[in-house]
Every structure is written in structure tokens, then in C-alpha cells.
Amino acid sequence: MPKLLSDEAVARYRRDGYLFPVDVIAPAEAAELRRRLEDHEAQTGGPISGDRRHKAHLYLTWLNELIRHPRILDAVEDVLGRDLLCWSTSFFIKEASDPGFVSWHQDATYWGLSSPDVMTVWVAFTPANLVNGCMKFLPGSHRQQLDHRDTFDKHNLLSRGQEIAVTVDEAKGVPAVLEPGQASLHHVLLAHGSAPNRSGDRRIGFAIRYIPTHVRQVVGERDSATLVRGTDNFHHFDHEPRPAADCAPDALAAHAAIVGRQVQVLYRGTGHDHFRP
């Protein structure tokens, strides 16, 4: 029995490589998460940036709760099974009138994981739509790895401006329009991209990457992840500590070490957007 998604929805995810919208938290909870983020930004002197955007669940308690949210995990379990690790998280924020865009790419090209059993849950803290630069998905593109090339466009949010080497028909891109509190699910091989934010407000999304415990890191040395459901009988990843309080000194130190190691070892020269400075 599926936990949250219907059999038909799971079949659609497997066929198309994505599924949305999935109602995961109430709109008021999404507004509260935005408020907490912006309080944190006010305390630290500006928009969350650099390594702090990645794996922020290692130093912010409310994000560590979000990656364990039962509704999110129920949806993930329906596709990936019941033993689940959160491998990574990243904020994807486009400021008002931000020229930044993301070229068409497949995440699997850069991550070094042993299996395509990797799902991103992208949780909208604000609306995401065609005006503010929501993600677009290319249906069925998760069935094969495509070649990528570097473009180095300065407004490309991917550090090397990497993009799929063949022209993608923009008209085939399906906009992942979301309301606050809704999420999209997408497969690690799904081609996706997004346009600039032409609106007067920020567009804030929080992407959570889940894997089943059997997946291994095959490019980097030792990697780490957070066990969020079930049992880890494989021990392919070091289990990460949970922060006792927001920005607790030991949590910040653990976060810096973990993300620093990933940037140095795993992502050297690959430059996916997750690790752009």
C-alpha cells in the first residue's frame, strides 16, 4: 500500500521522471519557514550564501525537522522504499528581478552516486511560477544520461554554465508551478532548468535530496548523509549529527567540515550549482 502517493501518481513519476504538485506542508507553515530563514539572514547580515546554503539542516533545527517531515518521507518512501538517507539539501533562492537562470542539465552528471535511485523534493517557501523563474522539467528525459558542455555564461547559476549539449525544445519544458507548502519530486536524471525571476519578490525553494541506504558514493572518498527513516544496513555513508540549537557552535563546525570536504573532494572541477560560491 502506498503511504501518500496513489499507484497512478507513482506510475506517472516513473514514466515522466517528476511529479507535482504534492501538498507537503500547510501554506502557513511555509510562511513560517520563510520567516525563520529571513530572521537567520537578518542575524547573519545578508542573504544566505556560499557553503551556508548547502546542508543548512546541519546547523538549523527547523530544517532538520523539515527533512524528516512525515508527509515528505511518505512520498519518498512510495518511490524509493523505507530505508532513507537525506544525502544533501540546498536553498535555491532567486532574488527579485534576479537575472540568474539555470541552463538545462541533469543532476546525475555531477554527483558521483552509484544508482539513479535519487529523488529531489523541492519545497516551495514562496510561490514558484513562470514570472519568478520556476523550474521546468523535460518529461521522460530521465531515461538516459545526456552529454553536457560548459558555456561559462555569467548569469548562469551553474558555476561552469554547464548545459545539455543538444538543443532542448523550450516548448517541451513543463513549468513546475507551485504554491507555498507544495513540493515537486524529480528524478536525478531528469533534465531541468529555470529562467530569471522577473517578479518583485524573492523566489525561495529548498531542495532535499533523498537516497535509499543501498546507494554508494563512487567518486568522492567518504561521504556523509542523515538517516531520516528506517534502518541503514549498508553503512556506505557516515551519519551526520543533528543540531541541538540553531547555529550551535559544534553544529556550525560540523557543517563547515562536512560541506568543505564535499566541495574539495567530491565536487572539485565539476561545479554543480549546489556548490557555487
Residues at the interface with Ni ion (CB under 5 A): 107
Q: How far is the CB of 158 from Ni ion (least distance, A)?
A: 8
If we measure between CA atoms, which residue out of 52, 64, 92 comes closest to residue 260? 52
Give CA separation, 275 vs 71, 99, 110, 139, 146, in Å. Answer: 28, 19, 11, 26, 21
Residue 107 or 240: the one with the smaller Cβ distance to Ni ion is 107
> Least distance in Å: CB of 192 to Ni ion?
6
CA distances from 55 to 155, 191, 202 (A): 24, 23, 21
Name the minimum Å distance from CB 147 to Ni ion. Answer: 16
Q: Give the nearer residue to Ni ion in terms of CB position, either 78 or 107.
A: 107
Cell, residue 233: 544496513
Min CB(51)–Ni ion separation in Å: 17
Residue number, nearest CB to Ni ion: 107
Closer of 188 and 251 to Ni ion (Cβ): 188
Q: How far is the CB of 249 from Ni ion (least distance, A)?
A: 32
Q: Helices H, strands E: what count in the chain?
A: 6, 13
Note if the bond before 27 is cis, omega within 30 degrees.
no
Closer residue to Ni ion (CB): 52 or 148? 148
How far is it, in rounded angstroms, from Cα 110 to Cα 159?
12
Between 46 and 277, CB nearer to Ni ion: 277
Nearer CB in complex with Ni ion: 107/163: 107
Nearest to residue 194, comparing CAs of 127, 104, 95?
Answer: 104
| Alpha-helical regions (H) of the chain | 7-16, 27-44, 61-66, 70-80, 108-111, 249-261
What is the smallest separation between the CB atom of 107 and Ni ion, expressed in angstroms? Answer: 4
Strand partners, 229: 84
